[in-house]
Copies of this chain bind each other. A is one copy, B any other.
Amino acid sequence: MISKQQISEIISKYDQENLAIATVCSHSSLQIFDGARKEGLKTIGICVGQPPRFYDAFPKAKPDEYIVVESYADIPKIAQELVEKNAIIIPHGSFVEYMGAKNFAELPVPTFGNREVLEWESDREKEREWLEGAGIHMPKNVPDPKDINSPVMVKYYGAKGGRGFFIAKTYEEFLENIDPNEKFTIQEFILGTRYYLHYFYSPLETEGYSLSEGTLEMLSMDRRVESNADEIFRLGSPRELEEAGIHPTYVVTGNVPLVARESLLPLIFSLGEKVVEESIKLFGGMVGPFCLETVFTDHLEIKVFEISARIVAGTNFYISGSPYADLVEPDLSTGKRIAKEIKLAKDMGQLDKILS
């Protein structure tokens, strides 16, 4: 991974009155560009082949300029150009995925957030170490299928993008469904309702919900729309579908907005707080937006099944604010919050704290 020191040197040569934010034209880029524009930062859209025409339909999100690459794997080739344009990269889920984690780790361009988080988040074992170390409740692992005595989610190795899972309620159901040629993991299935909680952590000294260092915000929440799992009940029950050879899948196609029961907010903040505090201990701390992917049970417990340590697409609904962000300031998207953080850090002379 490129060192903090190297990034600091690059930043020190930036024309800080002409910073630009740059990201790949996908995932949550509309709000990232819109937010930067609102805060008066320049915007650079990185794209493959040619500029995507759909930005023409969204003038407020259209980047000031595009840099076209042949493939996302070529992004390292434009590093120098990005640096010359005083660019700060805003990584989103697709950015890292398209480019490859290794390429991303080495990219010699200042990047919003702490790149060290990547290794903690992308490795299931380390993620569990982090979250459970923070005192977060996660679904339990079930190492031996014979121990299945309540619903479980069975996940094949290399399952990706919402496929390669199945649900079993008993060992018998496990045996009926398992592909004996595949390696798998088994995790407790948490029955409840899914909430994706969108936080923002700032290591800068500002007023607000204070942690040992920095402050925490909760800007919005969503529920993912999963194809085909969300509507498959129209066709049949799990058993009826099994008989017909039809299998549920969990591919995210979009997001629905929602709010949580207000009496859960203390718990919601406490979860975010613990995750941040532990991240500071483990690797110097996350920076900026992160998302806890949770299930709210009918005992009003919150189980966390995953963390995303950057902007998630579930924030896309809230491009002009949310029921929570509106209580911070009007018209505050996560994209705009990122731009504000960059401007604030610049004004405080602390860009080093939020870039890596």
Contact = CB atoms under 8 A, between A and B. Distances in A.
Given A191-B231, A193-B254, A316 B237 contact: no
Given A209-B54, A266-B52, A235 B317 contact: no
Where chain A touches its partner, the secondary structure class is mixed
A227 B192 contact: yes
Given A60-B327, A317-B259, A236 B169 contact: yes
Given A27-B263, A225-B193, A249-B298, A57 B209 contact: yes
Interface hub of A57, A58, A192, A210 (most chain B Cβ within 10 A): A57
A192 to B, nearest CB: 4
Contact of A298 (B61, B228, B236): B228
Contact of A261 (B57, B58, B313, B319): B313
Interface in A209-238: 209-210, 215-218, 221, 223, 225-238
Contact of A328 (B58, B234, B318): B58
Copies of this subunit: 3
A269 interface: yes
A319 B313 contact: no
A302 to B, nearest CB: 9
Contacts of A316: 259, 262, 323
A235 B320 contact: no
Given A235-B238, A258-B317, A328-B59, A296 B192 contact: no
Contacts of A34: 326-327
A234 B167 contact: yes
B28 A228 contact: no
A282 to B, nearest CB: 23
Contacts of A264: 253
A60 B259 contact: no
A255 to B, nearest CB: 5
Interface string A192-211: 11110000000000011110
A21 B23 CA distance: 43
A298 B163 contact: yes
A191 B244 contact: no
A195 B253 CA distance: 9
A250 to B, nearest CB: 8
Contact of A238 (B189, B240, B300): B240
A231 B216 CA distance: 30
Contacts of A232: 191
B251 A260 contact: no
A56 B151 CA distance: 39
A171 interface: no
| Top 6 A-B pairs, shortest CB-CB distance | A237-B237, A58-B327, A57-B209, A249-B298, A253-B296, A233-B233
6 contacts: A58-B328, A60-B329, A252-B261, A253-B296, A255-B259, A320-B321
